[in-house]
Structure 1
Amino acid sequence: MTPNRSRPSQKGPHGYDAGKRVNGRKRHIASDTRGLLLTVMAPLADIQDRVGTRALLIRLFVHFECLKTIFADGSYSGSLINWALSLLGWNTQVIKRCQQHGFEALLKRWIVERTFAWLSQSRRLGKNHEVTVLFS
């Protein structure tokens, strides 16, 4: 059975990620150490995170070749680290979550989480405008 990629209530293509329970699109961002956006990708939700991240890193490399180290979430470990080092020449450090049952702010990971919080406060970004975005 193929997934339904268009509904009358939602314009444009969309997908579903059963693991994260996301319907529509997932947003991948790259920010600097202050939390300012460098680049953004909004692929369909059914595209794997590692595939979407490779496209994000290629776009980031085109605009910011001078970067040396990339901090990534634990879900991006594996072949992505070797790929970024061999193709782009970037060292990738994975920031893994603690196994504790409580809140603990991880320094490098908290920067991106804070950026997502800033973006979600904007009412204009609450709508799905990715339908009209042209990807280069």
Structure 2
Amino acid sequence: VLITTGNIQDRDGGKMTLWYARRRFVRLRHVWADGGYLGKLVTWTLETLGWTLEIIKRSDRATGFQVLPRRWVVERSLAWLTRSRRLSRDYEGRCHTSASWCYLANIRLMLRRLDPSVEPL
């Protein structure tokens, strides 16, 4: 989890996220991102990290809702997180507090997978 302040552009936040992910996920070689990360980040990722950054873009001719390859994974994961009340709005004043709530929400999701009979909080 990497949470930044609101004045950080997506591409800059993406660069920070990829930089930290490099140390944690040493076998990672390919990353998918949406159109908001198009530009210098693709080149930076290849030159600095040696990874390929594939941009998943929606077709210009598309109308209405369409499921895009790999992008649905992120949307699904964010939907799971926002089911937690504390993550549905920006209640927290500090980034590390929001990150802690993300960890707690993910722990709850993993525990539910281990024992589905447990009632949600």
TM-score, scaled to structure 1: 0.64
Q: Which residue of 2 aligns with 1:59?
A: 20
Q: Alignment identity in percent? A: 40
RCO higher in structure (CA 8 A, sep ≥6): 2
Equivalent AA in structure 2 for residue 44 of structure 1? T
Contact 1:42 1:130 in 2 (8 A): no
Q: Give 1 or 2: higher helix fraction.
A: 2
Matched, 1:104 2:66: yes
Structure 1: gaps of 5 or more residues: 1-39
Matched, 1:69 2:30: yes
Shift of 1:130: 5.8
Counterpart Cα distance in 1 of 2:15 and 2:54? 15
Sort the Cα spacing of 1:107 and 1:130 in 2 relative to 1 into closer, same or farther, 3 A. Answer: farther
Counterpart Cα distance in 2 of 1:80 and 1:119? 26
Equivalent AA in structure 1 for residue 51 of structure 2? W
Query: Cα deviations across residues 42-68 of structure 1 (Å, max 9, x unaligned)?
Result: 211121111111111111111001101
Shift of 1:129: 3.3
Q: Which residue of 1 aligns with 2:40?
A: 79
Pairing 1:27-42 to 2, within 5 Å after superposition: 40-42=1-3
Counterpart Cα distance in 1 of 2:84 and 2:29? 31
Equivalent AA in structure 2 for residue 113 of structure 1? E
Shift of 1:98: 2.4
> 3-state DSSP class of the match of 1:41?
coil
Equivalent AA in structure 2 for residue 103 of structure 1? F
Equivalent AA in structure 2 for residue 43 of structure 1? T
Contact 2:3 2:96 in 1 (8 A): no
Give the number of equivalent residue pairs: 96
Shift of 1:123: 1.6
Which of 59, 76, 81 is residue 119 of structure 1 equivalent to?
A: 81
Query: Cα deviations across residues 1-54 of structure 1 (Å, max 9, x unaligned)?
Result: xxxxxxxxxxxxxxxxxxxxxxxxxxxxxxxxxxxxxxx222111211111111
Sort the Cα spacing of 1:132 and 1:91 in 2 relative to 1 into closer, same or farther, 3 A. Answer: closer
> 3-state DSSP class of the match of 1:58?
helix
Q: Give 1 or 2: higher strand fraction.
A: 1
Shift of 1:132: 6.1
Q: Which residue of 2 aligns with 1:133?
A: 96
Structure 2: gaps of 5 or more residues: 100-121
RMSD of the TM alignment (CA)? 1.9
